[in-house]
Structure 1
């Protein structure tokens, strides 16, 4: 089975298809466009930090390049490209500017969730005639939803809503009224930008100051009942009755925790590759601190360090590709009825991403320790990259490694015990 899908508007559930801006656009072309923007993004780094998000000019470049449409269903004028290709674009954009890569990725990727979670009519309304959708997604349910005669009324604030500056919607978790026995209930809410207030509260962090991770406040915002979908207690599982029925593509039927963790890895890979670019220039321009005073590029010790760093990032990037390919395989298998895309599968993908983050952390630590004080001076790109990476490490994804590993081990061992019992 292919993940390309059988074409837009498979069962006629989402209205008239929106034409693609570039019907012949390929993933390779989009990835090359991201590479070609590297110099522009690097020239904008300082201004992006001061502004706290990338410029309108950069936003328009991203629109023309097709970045926002990579994961968009074809019915809405998107390209339905593979997760692996989307992550490669995130790596390249982050190599130009890590903050920009973060803002772009965490704003544009959530169309994947929207296309497999909300009713087709809600999707069509959200995307509109322009075929454009950008939505931060905060998993912490810091907004409360209460029943209203017209659906739901929302009040509260979602902090760390990366992608907020150019968002068309907020798509984040809400706390619903308690269920039986006062059991907590959580939903995913889709709220138009017109009903949100993006707060000017970002940019005072150590790094990632241009990531557009502003808070979004909703006050007495009323949305139709179908704009909130209740979620289960474990990772989000997209609905095949929505994703496959509306779009004919298994990509919109999977679990997304592993994909979200892979975004973190893609950004960090791009960031460390950007730092390695600076390190490479330094290797050819500075001499070793010991005799013989050859350039660092000619010194065996620096050569060994450089080789180790490069290999660590290469292995992390190979893991990133494997996560993307595995996601599609699991979705296809599930859609074909050949095996469930299980919570354990999702945890495995997430744990692979988190292990990849450990590898790039080791590379970045070695890079910083061997760069030298003069190279890491205030205002340099390398100093900015070090600040950005230090901030990346404070993300909850970095804190959940052991928890996810424990959950994965429990799931795998339970499955193994069940298999043994069935074989008796």
Structure 2
């Protein structure tokens, strides 16, 4: 069991609805699904969800799910957040992607950064913070911190963001190659480019680039590591500050589970669209019957449904294991445990994609894959998900090797 010490004594800022429960906030997400489905085309055209939807999310408390209670957050837990994320993605993949990859990083910020930084970045209560893993830009050492400049691409959640978390390369020692440094910058230190929407899918995910121009980032808002290489086995600033074991968990595995939850939500949305076609359309070949009465369509639906349900079950189990590992103590969140949970997420992505590309998309019919149709849009979005470096490169190759090395005690030169 984790032993929490040195928890700061301070007056807790109450959230807007102190009595709100996890079940109620998940139900609010489910109630918004029809609206998100209806808005999909407009969301793509705009390249992000609307100001009205953003306001609905804020009023529902979605941006405070993972924010610590002392800053006016609900601190509900990762399972509640992921259920909301999966539900929103089921309605609109772009909206779910933009929300998840903006709001989820409240957990990393509350885990990895110290009290002073958290006092600054969580001051507004609602927290939306895109985070990228590719180092970019330049950093010049100055008294008390760094002057950072550069452009960071694929900043999902940027349109309504309150902060940005990125990496740059810095020379920590003379004669040594530069190493990654994680930093967090509040909204007033950067600007968003209007450069998103030309990709195959996820056109409405708000994944614009962010530009920083000679901004001073103090040392207390930097960490001398890449986020994927941070070890929590000796405890974390957030664990000591908040006393909640979830702020002592591994950031790498949680980030991977974000992508997996998005994949499952997209597949669930595709199954919903396919079910509508099953009820509304007939077969193309005799005997002409409703698709729901046809043995072939019954088989395809059943196969896809089972794979998607299995993927969801794997994710929920991985989240439970993530939470239980936190509760038992950060020292158990070893590199091996992080990677084991991460690879469960990878398998959930594979199951979801297999259900869509093998059974649902090919048999939906060509009229269902015209531009703007829900089936066509989700297929594009899931295809684009597979171009994410974390899924296409890291999880498919590097994670396997790193897991084996961790298991057999072989030193990884990159960590």
Shorter-chain TM range is over 0.9
Following superposition, the deviation at residue 189 of structure 1 comes to 0.7
TM-score, normalised by the number of residues in structure 1: 0.91
- Greater mean deviation of Cα atoms: 64-73 or 374-383: 374-383
List per-residue Cα deviations over 1:136-155 (Å, max 9, x = no partner): 11111112222113521001
> Aligned to 1:190, what secondary structure does the other structure show?
strand
Q: 1:327 to 1:180 in 2, by over 3 A?
A: farther
Q: Which of the residues 173, 181, 190 maps onto 1:179? A: 173
Assess if the C-alpha contact under 8 Å between 2:368 and 2:374 holds in 1: no
Q: Which of the residues 369, 385, 395 maps onto 2:388? A: 395
- The alignment status of 1:140 with 2:134, answered yes or no, reads yes
Q: What is the CA–CA distance in structure 2 between the aligned matches of 1:158 and 1:237, rounded to whole Å?
A: 25
- The alignment status of 1:157 with 2:154, answered yes or no, reads no
> Aligned to 1:139, what secondary structure does the other structure show?
coil
- Greater mean deviation of Cα atoms: 174-183 or 302-311: 174-183
Q: What is the CA–CA distance in structure 2 between the aligned matches of 1:246 and 1:62, rounded to whole Å?
A: 27
Following superposition, the deviation at residue 233 of structure 1 comes to 8.6
Structure 1 residues not aligned, in runs of 5+? 416-424
How many residue pairs match? The answer is 406
Determine the structure 1 residue equivalent to 2:375. Answer: 382
TM-score, normalised by the number of residues in structure 2: 0.93
RMSD: 2.0
Determine the structure 1 residue equivalent to 2:187. Answer: 193
List per-residue Cα deviations over 1:221-245 (Å, max 9, x = no partner): 1122211111269533357341122
List per-residue Cα deviations over 1:35-74 (Å, max 9, x = no partner): 0001111111111111111111111111111111111111
> Aligned to 1:216, what secondary structure does the other structure show?
strand
Determine the structure 1 residue equivalent to 2:318. Answer: 323
Q: What is the CA–CA distance in structure 2 between the aligned matches of 1:103 and 1:51, rounded to whole Å?
A: 13
Q: Which of the residues 303, 310, 318 maps onto 1:308? A: 303
Q: 1:132 to 1:182 in 2, by over 3 A?
A: same
Q: What is the CA–CA distance in structure 1 between the aligned matches of 2:114 and 2:200, rounded to whole Å?
A: 40
List per-residue Cα deviations over 1:16-46 (Å, max 9, x = no partner): 4211211121111111100000111111111
Determine the structure 2 residue equivalent to 1:418. Answer: none
Following superposition, the deviation at residue 2 of structure 1 comes to 8.9
Q: Which of the residues 351, 356, 366 maps onto 2:348? A: 356
Structure 2 residues not aligned, in runs of 5+? 411-415
List per-residue Cα deviations over 1:91-124 (Å, max 9, x = no partner): 1100111101001001011111111211112101
Assess if the C-alpha contact under 8 Å between 1:53 and 1:103 holds in 2: yes
> Aligned to 1:147, what secondary structure does the other structure show?
strand
- The alignment status of 1:55 with 2:50, answered yes or no, reads yes
Determine the structure 2 residue equivalent to 1:221. Answer: 215
- The alignment status of 1:96 with 2:88, answered yes or no, reads no
- The alignment status of 1:11 with 2:12, answered yes or no, reads no
Q: What is the CA–CA distance in structure 2 between the aligned matches of 1:145 and 1:151, rounded to whole Å?
A: 9
Q: What is the CA–CA distance in structure 1 between the aligned matches of 2:404 and 2:174, rounded to whole Å?
A: 31
Q: Which of the residues 9, 29, 41 maps onto 2:24? A: 29
